[in-house]
Structure 1
């Protein structure tokens, strides 16, 4: 409730500031109903809930021809998927580099910026730009959404517009704060100390033909994390490194489109659980989505998403053995089939629904949760129906 009040005060300040001629602002509001069945991914006890709320206000203030300030605040409630409340989504200084010539344009963002390296990372919190409320969890993992969405630091973006092709090169360096729920997902609820992202270093390259019918890109991420235990803690001081490689592609036709992202990510952890703990593993996965436009108002979507926690243990049996049966084998992977339907009721009004059939649960809850086996069955489902408006 306090978060919603804080958000309302910030929205009021946007409205006052909008009187400035160099200031432009937009927003969105959405509300829905949702449920996860036989899983605690969204709701507990198979409950149907209205915890599907997204409200956001974004603005751009132009200081000069090449310098501006951009920001967005939002209020989010996604059930158990992430932490509820108001948050500063982004706030950065945007400097457009002048007079590059030869078809080049470039921007530098300094502050809290959005992740520009994946297909849906920039607009993940804008409901009308998404095809589903729950994005493919192989890539857009809700357990780490606030860390993955953006960083505090610097981002550069260079775009070259040629006669037949468009190239985009992005580079960023920064860090994000880790809240208690994200710490618990990393280290379990018994962790009482401070988890910190030391840095995240990312780069990406995208190519498009001049027609913009295709978009193909590759991206890289490298990040270090550290943990400082409290005086009374069940975890030890330690560190972890995560590295991710991704391939992203989209194709747009007149009445249909397809998108796909594939990833391979490695994690190397030291300490944390024992003085000599040293663990390396690699996970991989990805998704493909096909969307068809029936007419100007209705479109449908079908998608498939898959992820394995350890490529050397694709069925999770080794995970179950090492945990002495405490973690069932199906927590080592997650496969999801999705159907979605979108109806554009009127200009800037949309109703969107989706249903997901899931086998496996590696993205549902931390594998260190003391009651991990109770958090999901091997086969479970989730659905949502969401009404949205934007201006």
Structure 2
């Protein structure tokens, strides 16, 4: 989260009581003593609840049982505080359930940073964040938890994987950012080093076996360059990361590395937007006595058209494509080796979506997915991959609130 020093925060008495603990993170005692510090406090929250119905396969709970699944819930509260002009302290607690057990919804720290701006003027902004920062990844990753910032209920799963969300969402470390105002527009550069979040189910989602584990004791790096023209019509970004994890695969120690590159383009007019992103993903697992080869390169892309009918109504259409291994696009070799069905190695998704936002605090959304393949299907909802169907359909409905 980044904000200009001149931004004016609202005063909320309840927020002061809930988030006064953030003052303890301020860098100086003099700042803590300033009677105006709490006047800069701002608190926001959001809640989203979805109903998911599929004809085959399960997504975020038992969605194919006829009555659907209501196990997709997002509840968050965030707060920001300025102990002095140059420092912003911000944090968000998130309770999120996406299938799995009820205990999965236990609140966790989504992000929590101390943001220090060394330079902030009309020409440029230069700052550094320390703590748990949101990864600058693609166009939507840093705001993906708030339904109002998403163009659809589900982001394109070929780029913004929900099955391995923990790995991409945030890291514990340091992030440096620069915003440079140039004659033609604005250039934003962000680069961070830290330890990514892994989550308890990451090994199962990546390798498909419950006996494996994965951890993030090694440092990883991520960077993004984004350009936006003065009119706001055109955006272009390039994101890259080098993720290093320690794995235990079938009792053998191994090093897992993941290097994604994402190119993003967006063009905006008053009544419509056209967005496209392409990702190239290289991953490898190195160690002794490994039974499988994980040295593969995959790619994914989507093209999305969003139309604003009125200020409160909009619809979109999107084609989203994922290939796990470019050397085995159909997954036949994967199936022949006994690792699972061929259709688990790809997914082509046609999405139609509709959103109604009668006011700034309420949104209702619905969307339909026709999917060929199960490449991004959550393993925890479908433990027996051989029982999944290649062609399947999904309906989602979501109610979202914010304050």
| Aligned partners of 1:236 and 1:275 also within 8 Å | yes
Normalised to the residue count of structure 1, the TM-score between the two structures is 0.88
Normalised to the residue count of structure 2, the TM-score between the two structures is 0.86
Give the aligned partner of residue 97 of structure 2. 77
Give the aligned partner of residue 396 of structure 2. 384
| Aligned partners of 1:198 and 1:224 also within 8 Å | yes
2:39 paired with 1:21: yes
Give the aligned partner of residue 111 of structure 2. 90
2:358 paired with 1:353: no
Give the aligned partner of residue 32 of structure 2. none
How big is the shift at 1:316? 1.1
- Counterpart CA distance in 1 for 2:376 and 2:176 is 31
Give the aligned partner of residue 176 of structure 2. 156
Q: Match for 1:319 among 319, 326, 334? A: 334
- Counterpart CA distance in 2 for 1:41 and 1:347 is 29
> How many residues are treated as equivalent by the alignment?
370
Quick one: structure 1 residues 271 and 167, their matched pair in 2 at CA, closer, same or farther if it must change by over 3 Å? same
Give the aligned partner of residue 108 of structure 1. 128
How big is the shift at 1:118? 1.4
Give the aligned partner of residue 300 of structure 1. 315
What are the equivalent positions in structure 2 for 1:1-391 lying under 5 Å apart?
A: 14=15, 16-17=17-18, 20-44=38-62, 46-47=64-65, 48-80=68-100, 83-98=104-119, 103-191=123-211, 193=213, 195-196=215-216, 198-228=218-248, 234-271=250-287, 274-275=289-290, 279-323=294-338, 327-365=340-378, 371-374=384-387, 376-391=388-403
Residue 144 of structure 2: SS of its match in structure 1? Answer: coil
Residue 377 of structure 1: SS of its match in structure 2? Answer: coil
How big is the shift at 1:155? 0.6
Quick one: structure 1 residues 388 and 310, their matched pair in 2 at CA, closer, same or farther if it must change by over 3 Å? same
How big is the shift at 1:70? 0.4
Specify every segment of 5 or more residues in structure 2 that has no aligned partner in the other structure, as ranges.
1-12, 21-37
Residue 76 of structure 1: SS of its match in structure 2? Answer: strand
Quick one: structure 1 residues 80 and 357, their matched pair in 2 at CA, closer, same or farther if it must change by over 3 Å? farther
How big is the shift at 1:13? 8.0
Residue 63 of structure 1: SS of its match in structure 2? Answer: strand
Deviates more, 1:14-23 or 1:283-292: 14-23
